[in-house]
Chains A and B, each alone.
Chain A
Amino acid sequence: MTPEEALTRIGESTGAAVAGALEAYCPGAVTTHPPVVLDSEEDPVAGVPLPAVVGDVSYIDGVTGGNLFIMPLPAARALAAAMGGADPAAANPDPGTELTELELSAAGELANQMMAAAAAAASAVLGQEVAIAAPETRVIAAAADALAQKDPATSVVSVSIDLLGHSCRLVQLIPHAFVVRMTRALDDLDAEHPVADEDAGWHSGPSGTTVMPSDLLDGVGVRVAAELGRVSMTIRRAVSLAPGAVVELDRELEDPIDLYVNGRRFATGRLVTLDGDEWAVSIDTVDFEATPGKGD
């Protein structure tokens, strides 16, 4: 895998995590575009109306790097409304109106939630915990202010995200060492879980809100999981379960089971056996849910 491919994969993974966090507040109003690895001369916030608010979250343990989520002020206001349980469509659309302290704080909190999810995704690939710092927020009036402290030894990956009709941007500042480690980890993962030819059919199947060219999708492996049922319990009870304990699930024998792609439910089906010794799932319905399943 080339460093550019690794950067693209990091951008995809982080973009998906960010979109998942946004979808939790704005279901059906988030569209993520493919990541772009930028040249040093390119403007990472081109196309985002200014002034804009920047939620800045750094990785501090496991890997280093910066993550900026940049939203025009009306988007930040609408999102703060959605996060507070209000109607985002009723938020003030005036780009010239300053954010309140609470709206600015909501933008920082959102950046925290998005990047915690992204750090978990990076952590899963690297096999090592990746921790994030507390978010910092600022309002920028010019593109040059977005990356004021950028280290020249970092790569810049940009992901355009349409949120509630506003153009927003995820900008990742990725140090060379992170790229090298991620390249190695992704190579190992691909060797363990090669993408089968039949997976190439995904682009003609059901689509969610993510817009990606089919040739890009062909190169991306996903984790498909079948779920028989769920149960809620306290973490105290979970960690005290011993061999022999029986955990009752919430499904009857004849109920359909759920299939998930990277934590998102996309189909229901019935558990069957192949040749009498392998489990398989016969698909009944296909319907991508707008937000990640609870507990995923």
Chain B
Amino acid sequence: MARVLVVDDAAFMRKVVSDALRRGGHEVIGEASNGAEAIARYRDLQPELMTLDITMPEMDGLTALREIIALDPGARIIMCSALGQERKVLEAIKAGAKDFVVKPFKADRVLDAVGKAMA
């Protein structure tokens, strides 16, 4: 079981991801709706794992990822991207993201990625 911070600008996607995580026995300890909020909440909550959307207002997921990895090089971050954002996903993996899931995704895929990142 992991303590997870869920980051996505769409409340709908935060619910989909959070529901999947809870069904898989994980604890969702917080949510954020943009990159800047994600950094602040990461500092406050110190989650074991974070799911992070790429396209968000104010600060995108890639920028937030780089800042969080700079703060905590051991951060476990799974990127959530739409189809067609493969280049950004590759940048994210190079920057330290542990894995990625592509929307639309099945709950099992999210849980699989979380399980591997926590292993």
Please, how many residues of chain A have a CB less than 8 angstroms from a CB on the other chain?
Answer: 33
User: In the complex, are the beta carbons of B104 and A108 less than 8 A apart?
Assistant: no
A112 with B82: CB separation less than 8 A = yes
On chain A, the residues within 8 Å of B81 by CB distance are 116
In the bound complex, residues from chain B placing their C-beta under 8 Å from that of A235 are 89-90, 93, 99-100
Q: Are B11 and A113 in touch, CB under 8 angstroms?
A: no
Q: Please give the residue numbers on chain A whose beta carbons come within 8 Å of chain B beta carbons, in ascending order.
A: 17, 20-21, 24-25, 80, 83-84, 101-103, 105-106, 108-109, 112-113, 116-121, 123, 129, 132-135, 234-236, 239
Q: Which residues of B contact A (CB under 8 A)?
A: 9-13, 15-16, 55-57, 81-87, 89-90, 93, 99-100, 103-104, 116
Q: CB distance B83 to A120 under 8 Å? A: yes
Q: Which residues of B contact A17 (CB under 8 A)?
A: 84
- Whether the pair A83, B12 counts as a contact (CB closer than 8 A) is yes
Instruction: Assess whether B82 is in contact with A236, with CB atoms less than 8 Å apart.
Output: no
CB neighbours of B85 from chain A (8 A): 116, 120
Given contacts A235-B90, A235-B93, contact A102 B11 (CB under 8 A): yes
Please list 18 pairs of residues, one from A and one from B, whose beta carbons are closer than 8 Å in the complex, sorted by A's number.
A17-B84, A25-B104, A83-B104, A106-B12, A108-B12, A109-B10, A109-B12, A109-B103, A112-B55, A113-B104, A116-B81, A117-B84, A120-B86, A121-B84, A133-B55, A134-B9, A134-B55, A235-B99
| Chain A hits for B55, CB < 8 A | 112, 116, 132-134
> In whole angstroms, what is the CA distance A101 to B14 when docked?
13
Q: Which residue of B lies closest to A114 (CB)?
A: B82
Q: Name the residue among B15, B89, B104 with the largest chain A CB count within 10 angstroms.
A: B104
CA–CA, A36 to B82, complex, Å?
A: 27
Closest CB in chain B relative to A30 CB, distance in Å: 14
Q: How far does the Cβ of A145 sit from chain B's closest Cβ, in whole Å?
A: 21
The dominant DSSP class at the B interface is mixed
Instruction: Report how far A196 CA is from B103 CA in the complex, Å.
Output: 36
Q: A102-B15, A134-B57 are in contact. List 18 more A-B contacts (CB 8 A).
A: A17-B84, A24-B104, A80-B12, A83-B12, A83-B16, A101-B11, A102-B12, A105-B10, A109-B13, A113-B82, A113-B83, A113-B103, A117-B82, A119-B84, A120-B83, A120-B86, A134-B55, A135-B10
**B89 cross-chain contacts in A, Cβ below 8 A:** 235
> Complex formed: what's the CA distance from A201 to B99 in Å?
43
Are B16 and A84 in contact (CB-based, < 8 A)?
Answer: yes
Closest A residue to B11 by beta carbon equals A105
Query: Chain A residues near B16 (CB, 8 Å)?
Result: 83-84
Q: Smallest CB-CB separation from A109: which chain B residue?
A: B10
Residue among A84, A109, A129 having the largest count of chain B Cβ atoms under 10 Å? A109
> A121: which B residues are within 8 A, CB to CB?
84
Contact indicator A116/B10 (Cβ below 8 Å): no
- A112 and B10 contact, CB distance less than 8 A: yes
Q: List residues of chain A with CB within 8 A of the CB of B15.
A: 84, 102
Contact of A105 with B12 in the complex, beta carbons under 8 Å: yes
Which residues from A are CB-within-8-Å of B103?
Answer: 109, 113
Establish whether residues B12 and A117, one from each chain, have CB atoms under 8 Å apart when the complex forms. no
Q: How far is the CA of A31 from the CA of B85 in the complex (A)?
A: 25
Question: Within the complex, what minimum Cβ distance (angstroms) separates A168 from chain B?
Answer: 18
Residues of B within 8 A of A25 (CB): 104
Q: 10 smallest A-B Cβ distances: which pairs?
A: A120-B84, A116-B82, A105-B12, A109-B10, A106-B12, A134-B57, A105-B11, A113-B82, A116-B84, A117-B84
* Cα-based distance from A121 to B87 in the complex (angstroms): 13
Which chain B residue lies CB-closest to A101?
B11
